[in-house]
Structure 1
Amino acid sequence: MMKLDPFYPIFDSTDWLKRLLPLGIKLVQLRIKDADPAVLQREIRLARDLCAASDCTLVVNDYWEMAIDAGCDFVHLGQEDLDTADIAAIRRADIRLGLSTHDHAELDRALSFAPDYIALGPVYPTILKKMKWHQQGLEKLTEWKGLIGGIPLVAIGGMRVDRAEGAFAAGADIVSVVTDITLNSDPETQVKRWRDVTRPVQ
């Protein structure tokens, strides 16, 4: 299984990629919600090109059909997406797959698809979206890592620079971050802080 960078930011537009990829980001997710299909297609293709130029692995959230059409090689799906996604088509296109999990039933379901990473969240309370799950906590990360073995484990939800070390110590291989960068008054400096705190685990 290909090793993934431990620092995994998520952005909602290619404007963020243009701005921050030059700082050394090597794994990134493009997560766009409620956009016109033409805009989505354009953003996914531009993200593909920007990431290729920066030797960065691009993960496309949700839109697996557009990812296939654009020749992308990694998608992330939530549990609801699994209800309709054609996993066989995704695999035929040689696309890697990351899956969200929140409880044991979802983990069992995710593992049945042999994913390339498993995400667990929210580890801490998050303002990103309303969720029916309360914070999972670091103990759940340790439990999940024991259950999934060699599959990379992504910690997501309320992650900050000062919480990264605890997540890694609890068993996370990768820490995913959104608002700690996008709502920061100085995103560039914050990315550099994240790179500094995640490099020692590589």
Structure 2
Amino acid sequence: MDRRARLQTARLYLIASDRPGGRPLADVLGPALEGGVDLFQLRCKDAADETVLAASEVARELCAAAGALFFVNDRPDLAAAAGADGVHVGQDDMPVSRARQIVGADRLVGLSTHAPAEVDAADADLIGVGPVHATPTKAGRPAVGLELVRHAAAHARVPWFAIGGIDEDNAAAVIGAGAARISVVRAIADAPDPRAAAYRLRRMVETVALHHGPAHAA
């Protein structure tokens, strides 16, 4: 399937560094993909380009073998160089249009959104909606709660993933608020068994997709 077709069926998005939970990337990402992750973003804040590209090679090969999409955070130039499927940018980074120029029309661009107006105006291929709960990966960014999830469920025009402090204890409430796709970091990256953690989260979110269909998730 092409990238946009795979995006439509994606449900579980893992974001992690090159050393998730202090472990080699392959030791976490490989099992997570087996458990049901179908979109992975490499997020290496402040890392050297060489570090990002080396980790990208590992991630690209694992994701390709699993049929999952692979994104690089913040850096469309590195996403293109690494052969990634896309890049993810924030509201304070470069505009989506500029990121798209750099990665090319055949790759995907994701965008973080934190308010109803940002969800409504998003011109990306996919959006992250949150942070639903406070999270150390978004220090200083206030939690938006479930109201923004409900807004996205009603108004988002592109595939969207609820994000921010989501784990097995609170995912049901997020899914119940309308999220048919979720993004996680620590819930898988720090899990003793990434495969089992991914499997359980995937089962939770697939229940919504099964009962509500694609329209529920944009």
Does the pair score TM above 0.5? yes
**Range with bigger deviation, 81-90 or 12-21:** 81-90
Give the distance between the partners of 2:96 and 2:196, measured in 1 at CA: 39
Q: 1:154–1:174: 8 Å Cα contact kept in structure 2?
A: yes
What is the TM-score of this pair, normalised by structure 1? 0.85
- 3-state SS in 1 of match to 2:44: coil
Residue 125 in structure 1 maps to residue 134 in structure 2: yes
The within-5 A match list for 1:40-55 is 40-55=52-67
The amino acid of 2:161's aligned partner reads V
Deviation at 1:167, TM superposition (A): 1.7
Residue 65 in structure 1 maps to residue 77 in structure 2: yes
CA pair 143-52 structure 1, distance change in 2 beyond 3 A: same
CA pair 11-108 structure 1, distance change in 2 beyond 3 A: same
Show the counterpart of 2:168. 161
State the Cα deviation string for residues 7-55 of structure 1 (Å, max 9, x = none).
1111212332234323342222111112121111121122112211111
Give the distance between the partners of 2:100 and 2:70, measured in 1 at CA: 20
The amino acid of 1:48's aligned partner reads R
Q: 1:121–1:155: 8 Å Cα contact kept in structure 2?
A: yes
Give the distance between the partners of 1:162 and 1:142, measured in 2 at CA: 19
The within-5 A match list for 1:1-202 is 2=5, 3-13=8-18, 14-15=25-26, 16-82=28-94, 86-90=98-102, 92-107=104-119, 111=122, 114-132=123-141, 134-149=142-157, 151-202=158-209
Give the distance between the partners of 1:84 and 1:95, measured in 2 at CA: 12
Q: 1:98–1:116: 8 Å Cα contact kept in structure 2?
A: yes
Deviation at 1:88, TM superposition (A): 4.3
- 3-state SS in 2 of match to 1:79: coil
Backbone CA RMSD of aligned residues: 2.3
Unaligned runs of 5+ in 2: 19-24, 210-218
Q: 2:96–2:124: 8 Å Cα contact kept in structure 1?
A: no
CA pair 86-165 structure 1, distance change in 2 beyond 3 A: same
CA pair 135-24 structure 1, distance change in 2 beyond 3 A: closer
Q: 2:32–2:188: 8 Å Cα contact kept in structure 1?
A: no
The amino acid of 1:160's aligned partner reads D
Q: 1:68–1:93: 8 Å Cα contact kept in structure 2?
A: no
Aligned pairs, how many? 197
The amino acid of 2:76's aligned partner reads W
Unaligned runs of 5+ in 1: none
Give the distance between the partners of 1:80 and 1:7, measured in 2 at CA: 25
The amino acid of 1:122's aligned partner reads P
Q: 2:132–2:144: 8 Å Cα contact kept in structure 1?
A: yes
- 3-state SS in 2 of match to 1:21: helix
Deviation at 1:158, TM superposition (A): 1.0
Q: 1:121–1:157: 8 Å Cα contact kept in structure 2?
A: yes
